Amino acid sequence: MTVDPPLLAPMPSHPNRRSWDEKLLPGLVLVALAMLGWNLGGADLIDPDEGRNAAIALEMSQSGSWLLPTLAAVPFPDKPLLYFASGALSIDLLGPTELAVRLPSLLATFALVGLIGWFTISTLGSRAGWPAMLVMATAPLSIAYSRIVIFDAMLSFFVVAALIAFFKAIEAPRTSQDSRRWNRSSTWSVVAWLAMALGILTKGPVALAVPLIVALPFAFWRRRILAVLNPFGGLIFVGILVPWLWATELRLPGFLHYALVTETWERLTTDSMQRTGPPWYYLPYLIGGALPWSLVLLGVSLSKFEGWRRRLARDPQLVYLTLWIVVPLLFFSLSHSKRPHYILPLIPALAILFGRAWARRERLARGVRWGASAWLFFGTLFLAAAAGWLPIHRMDAHLQSTALATAWLLALTCLGSGLAAWIWCRRPPVALALLAVPMISLPIVIGPLLSLVSEGRSTRELSVALTPHLTDGIRVVGIETFSPSLEFYLGQPVEISSNDLGLLRSNYVARAHPGWGSPGWETLTPSNSWIGPARDCAPALFVLQVKSQSARAALEATGRPLLFESDRFLAFGTCPEQPAQSVSSSTPPTVMSPAMVPLAGSSPSPNFQSETP
């Protein structure tokens, strides 16, 4: 019978000299983490998702009501409270800035990289741990979701923490000295259930589903099912979630039905969210979301599939990592609601597998050449775009010069790194560093272009024009429009005059709106309700879209001055006989918590998109 070599065969080295891995990779990981935070607050908040999540966090900070998220001063239970609460705490510490609201995602990514490093080093050694951390810190999906105001980095941390804790619980050694009621396995199981509870408070039941569909089959195979179904863990899980669910249900009767049926079951089993995709939808995102490391891993692994199958039979960790990737991938592929970031919790499993493969030092040259080929391919595409050889979509004139410079930088970075890694493919630590260069430098390279793009998808300039005209009692009314970033930048809720409840992008508001004038929903008013206050010179600022020409004519007829005009928005001030004064204090107006109302019957309004389940 053929016997595989040990997983981590010792590397020959001088007794008084550290290996290249020990000298180079820790510093490279630190550089990669530092680049994740490079100019984090330099770009404006992008609507709708960043603006909405930031506005909710600001309302939570101002109102002091941390139980139920609100947007435009109306209930927003589409997502739980934990991510918004972290944003609110960050605002309390740093002020209402882009850096403050993006910081929770960055810190969650840092924690996730550290967690992967700790687990890999503790089970496989530093030769596998540092490469795994580098992969986690430089994977495209990790970079993207560490720098925006969105739930998925924090959710991934809790999901991965639960998965690792379940593995530790199942594989914990059993000795005669262990107590029948409590042992090391019980401790890890409790940690897993605690992590799942916090994950649910971050985004929802997906934090329960993903760890269990991976851990239960593995526990059954290892005959340790009670290591997962631990009663102490279950009690802690229930003790954390039930008080929050009960309190929310009391304030919003019908919330449980909405959360479990509308936001979970219907999202998974029906096309009501309009997010369908083919069964192979996630494969390109799984490979592309971990480039170039996914191709390096494929290059190393495909040539030794028979060895992989033999190791699966006697390597529990390899079995667990395989389940970690395959089972959730099937689960999300069968779901009717598909979005690329749903598979972010799978990237850590790829990172650990990469660390294992890298530590074995088998066929690394081939894998490095596969990864280098990816950078050479993308570098060629960027070069063709920069040189005008490749037709690309039209860009606004103010973006063209910056986009051209960005394309040249990306081309040089990818081509240089790919070529150098190909040449140094037989020097693993050097090749690893070279392959990481394009992703480490990405925040710097694309930063100027991202800042310009964000300006076109944010309302910061509009808020700058409106802020000097805001005093106590001055309302801001959106006429058939709502951009949540405007609420964040102004520091107060924006009233909405429209019959289109989809402007809030909340399925709850669309289904549970109790009717105009209901207590707690005063910021939502029907279309044309703005006409009377505008004609009567009510103290209000009005925001509308450029295409709303009839509303523009009506506001101009009142004599209100035009305060702002862009290719997207118009803003009108107060009547001349009621001139506004500059704001004398930087303290934003206080957002009062809305009075909660019973859940009404379903509205005929359509479902609206939010970025995650």
Residue 236 falls within a domain, yes or no? Answer: yes
The pLDDT, as a whole number, for residue 4 is 37
The pLDDT, as a whole number, for residue 180 is 53
Write the pLDDT tens digit of every residue in 529-584. Answer: 999 999 999 999 999 999 999 999 999 999 999 999 998 999 999 988 654 443 33
Query: What's the chain's average pLDDT?
Result: 85
- The Cα 217–Cα 170 span in angstroms is 11
List the one residue out of 437, 448, 445, 449 whose CA is nearest residue 31. Answer: 437
Residue 251 falls within a domain, yes or no? Answer: yes
Is the confidence at residue 19, as pLDDT, over 70? Answer: no
- Are residues 214 and 349 both part of a single domain? yes
Which string of DSSP letters, residue by residue, matches 169-213? HHH----TTS-SS--HHHHHHHHHHHHHHHHHHHT-THHHHHHHH
Please give the structure tokens belonging to residue 538: 């009510």
Last residue of a domain, one of 343, 361, 379: 361
Residue 562, helix vs strand vs coil:
strand
What is the percent of the chain with per-residue pLDDT over 70, rounded to a whole number? 83
Residue 375 falls within a domain, yes or no? Answer: no
- Are residues 337 and 485 both part of a single domain? no
Residue 419 falls within a domain, yes or no? Answer: no
- Are residues 106 and 225 both part of a single domain? yes
Per-residue pLDDT, averaged over 279-301, amounts to: 90
Is the confidence at residue 148, as pLDDT, over 90? Answer: yes
The pLDDT, as a whole number, for residue 586 is 38
* Prediction pTM value: 0.88
What is the percent of the chain with per-residue pLDDT over 90, rounded to a whole number? 62
The pLDDT, as a whole number, for residue 254 is 81
Is the confidence at residue 603, as pLDDT, over 50? Answer: no
Residue 366 falls within a domain, yes or no? Answer: no
| Domain residue limits at 260 | 44-361
In this predicted structure, which of 155-164, 239-248, 308-317 has the lowest mean pLDDT? 308-317
Please give the structure tokens belonging to residue 303: 């040539």
Please give the structure tokens belonging to residue 401: 């010069």
215 close to 316: Cβ distance less than 8 angstroms: no
Last residue of a domain, one of 342, 361, 380: 361
Q: How many CA atoms lie within 13 A of 9 on its CB side?
A: 8
Write the pLDDT tens digit of every residue in 329-350. Answer: 999 888 777 788 899 999 999 9
The pLDDT, as a whole number, for residue 412 is 96
The pLDDT, as a whole number, for residue 158 is 98
Per-residue pLDDT, averaged over 297-314, amounts to: 69
- The Cα 568–Cα 51 span in angstroms is 16
Is the confidence at residue 11, as pLDDT, over 90? Answer: no
The pLDDT, as a whole number, for residue 362 is 75
Residue 453 falls within a domain, yes or no? Answer: no
Is the confidence at residue 84, as pLDDT, over 60? Answer: yes
Last residue of a domain, one of 319, 335, 361: 361
- Are residues 101 and 244 both part of a single domain? yes
The pLDDT, as a whole number, for residue 135 is 96
- Are residues 355 and 473 both part of a single domain? no
In this predicted structure, which of 27-36, 93-102, 456-465, 598-607 has the lowest mean pLDDT? 598-607
Per-residue pLDDT, averaged over 189-207, amounts to: 95
Give the total number of structural domains in the chain.
Answer: 2
Please give the structure tokens belonging to residue 338: 């598909």
